[in-house]
A = this chain, B = another copy of it.
Amino acid sequence: MDKTILIIEDDAEINNMLKILLEQNGYGTISAYSGTEGVLVHNAEISLILLDLMLPGKSGEEIIRELKQKHNVPIIVMSAIHDVSKKVDLFSLGADDYVTKPFHNDELLARISARLRTNPDSIADTIAYKNILLNKNDFTVSCKGVPIELSKHEFELLKLLMENPARTCTKSMIYDTVWDYENSADDNTLNVHISKLRKKLRVPDPETEYIETVWGIGYRLKK
C-alpha cells in the first residue's frame, strides 16, 4: 500500500531527480510538467502533491485552488521565493508546507512523511550527526535522506558512536555494548564491522569521513 505522490515541476531534470528520490524511499510517483497537466492528472490515488511554484501558465495560487478542489490532499510547495508575504497567501489558499530551493533531500522527505504520517512521535527518537539521522525506535538510518540498510550489529555500533559524539569509544567498551562479551585480543570482528559501516555511509556521502580511528584505543566520530 504505497503512497503516491504527484510531482508538478516543469524542469524535467529536477522532476526526474525527485521521482528517483521518492521512489527510492518507497513512494509511488506521477510526474507532471505544468500546472494544468498537474490538475488534469490529479486523482484519488494521489496522497500528496509536490508543487513547484514557478510554473509557466497558470499562477501557483490558481493551481493550488484547483488541485484542492479536485481532491484535498496535502500540498507541499517548492519555491525559490523567500518573500514572506507570498508564503502567507499560499498558506491561506491551502498549501500545507513549504520548502525553499535548494533544499536537502532529507528535509523534503521529513516534510513529506510529516504530512503523511500517522504517528508523529517517531522522529523524537531520532538522533542526528552531520548528515546522518538515526531512529532508535524503528531502527532506521538515513544519510542525506538516503535510507541505509544496516545489520543489527552495525546499527548498534553506529548508535553507540552517535550517542557518544566526540568521545572515544574503546574497543572493549564497544565489545561490551554491542556484542555483550569481551573480545579476544586478536579479534578482527570489530574492524570488519567498522569497515562495512564506513562503506555503507560512503554511498550517499563520499565526501564526509564519519568514523575516526584512534590507534590502539578504539573509534570515535570525527569532529
Contact A114 B85 (CB under 8 A): yes
Contact A120 B216 (CB under 8 A): no
Q: Of all chain B residues, which has the CB nearest A114? A: B85
Interface residues of chain A, those whose CB is within 8 Å of chain B, are 81-82, 84-85, 87-89, 91-92, 96-100, 104, 106-107, 110-111, 114-115, 117, 120-124, 126-128, 133, 137-140, 151-152, 163-164, 166-168, 214-217, 220
Contact A88 B100 (CB under 8 A): no
Contact B85 A115 (CB under 8 A): yes
Contact A92 B121 (CB under 8 A): no
Measured between alpha carbons, how far is A115 from B164 in the docked complex, in Å?
8
Q: Of all chain B residues, which has the CB nearest A79? A: B124
Contact A96 B138 (CB under 8 A): no
Sorted from nearest, which 9 A-B pairs have the closest CB atoms?
A: A152-B216, A88-B110, A85-B114, A138-B168, A84-B120, A88-B107, A138-B167, A91-B128, A84-B114
Measured between alpha carbons, how far is A104 from B115 in the docked complex, in Å?
25
Other A-B pairs beyond A85-B111, A138-B220, 6, CB < 8 Å: A91-B126, A91-B128, A98-B123, A117-B164, A151-B216, A152-B217
Contact B168 A139 (CB under 8 A): yes
A121 neighbours in B (Cβ, 8 Å):
81, 100
A88 neighbours in B (Cβ, 8 Å):
104, 106-107, 110-111
Measured between alpha carbons, how far is A38 from B107 in the docked complex, in Å?
27
Measured between alpha carbons, how far is A81 from B166 in the docked complex, in Å?
30
Q: Of all chain B residues, which has the CB nearest A151? A: B215
A168 neighbours in B (Cβ, 8 Å):
138-140
A214 neighbours in B (Cβ, 8 Å):
139
